[in-house]
Amino acid sequence: MQIYGWEPGIGDPTFIGWFTVAAYFCAAVLCFTAAIRARRVDRAAYRFWVIFTGFMVVLGINKQLDLQSLFTAVLKQFAKSTGWYEDRRIFQGIFICVIAFFGLAFAALAWIWTSRTLPRHRLALLGGIFLVSFIVIRAASFHHIDQILGKELAFLRINHILELSGIACVALGALKVRRETLADEAPRTAPAPHNWKGSATGFPR
C-alpha cells in the first residue's frame, strides 16, 4: 500500500539505524525508572518522566516506520495541487527558520520554567526539544540541509551524530535524576541507630 509514493516498511535497516532504535528504547527505560522513583516524592516529576517515556518509545518506532517521510510526501502532493511546488525552496527555507526560531524560543522558556519547577530535568527537556526540532527539519526535505546532514564524520553521518546526541541528553538526564532521587531517599531509608540504654550493660555486645 502506497500513499503518494510512501509505503510502510523498515526505514533504515542499517546497523546504525537499529542502534539508534535501541538507543531510543534504552532512553525510554531510563525515563521509566526515573518515573518510578519520582512517583513517591514528586508527582510533577512523575508525570514529566511518564510523558518522556512515551515520547522516546514513539520516536523509536518512528525511526524505522519513517513517518516523517509520509509527512513529506503528503506535503509535496499538497504543494503540487495548490501550485506552489516550483517555489518550494523558498517555503522550505522559511519553514526551517520558523522551526529553528521556535525551537530556540521554547528551549529558553523551558530553561526558565524548569529552573523554578523541575531544575533537575533541564538536560532531558532540552534533549527532547532538540530531537523534535531535528526530526521536523529533516521532514522538510530541504536539499542543502540534507546534503549537510548526509556528510560523514569518521563512520557516522552528521544526522546520526545529532540524533544520538539528543537521545543521549534525554538518557543522561533521566539517569542523573534517578541517582539524585536515590541519594535523597537514602537518609529516609537508613536504619535508625540502636538504643543501647535498654541493654543489660548499656553497651553494644
Of 105 and 74, more confident: 105
| pLDDT tens-digit series, residues 161-173 | 899 999 999 999 9
Q: What is the distance in angstroms between the CA of the first residue and the CA of the last residue of the chain? A: 78
Separation in Å, CA 172 to CA 27, 57, 109, 123, 191: 8, 16, 21, 8, 30
In this prediction, what percent of the chain has a pLDDT beyond 70?
76
Q: Using CA atoms, how far apart are residues 22 and 68, in angstroms rounded to an integer?
A: 19
pLDDT of residue 13: 81
Grid cell listed for 188: 529516609
> Domain spans of the chain?
15-78+88-182
CB neighbours of residue 59 within 10 Å? 23
User: What are the start-end ranges of the H helices in the chain?
Assistant: 15-39, 43-65, 67-82, 88-116, 122-139, 143-149, 158-189
Of 7 and 91, more confident: 91
Q: Using CA atoms, how far apart are residues 78 and 85, in angstroms rounded to an integer?
A: 8
Nearest to 103 by CA among 21, 166, 31, 173: 166
Separation in Å, CA 124 to CA 22, 62, 81, 120, 128: 18, 19, 40, 9, 6
Specify the 3-state DSSP secondary structure of 37: helix
Q: Using CA atoms, how far apart are residues 129 and 25, in angstroms rounded to an integer?
A: 18
| pLDDT tens-digit series, residues 8-44 | 667 778 888 899 999 999 999 999 999 998 887 788 8
Provide the whole-model pTM.
Answer: 0.74
Task: Name the band, by pLDDT with cuts 50, 70 and 90, for residue 186.
Answer: low
165: left (phi over 0), alpha (psi -120 to 50) or beta: alpha
| pLDDT tens-digit series, residues 134-151 | 888 777 665 556 666 667
DSSP sequence for 42-96:
-HHHHHHHHHHHHHHHHHHHHHHH-HHHHHHHHHHHHHHHHT-GGGHHHHHHHHH
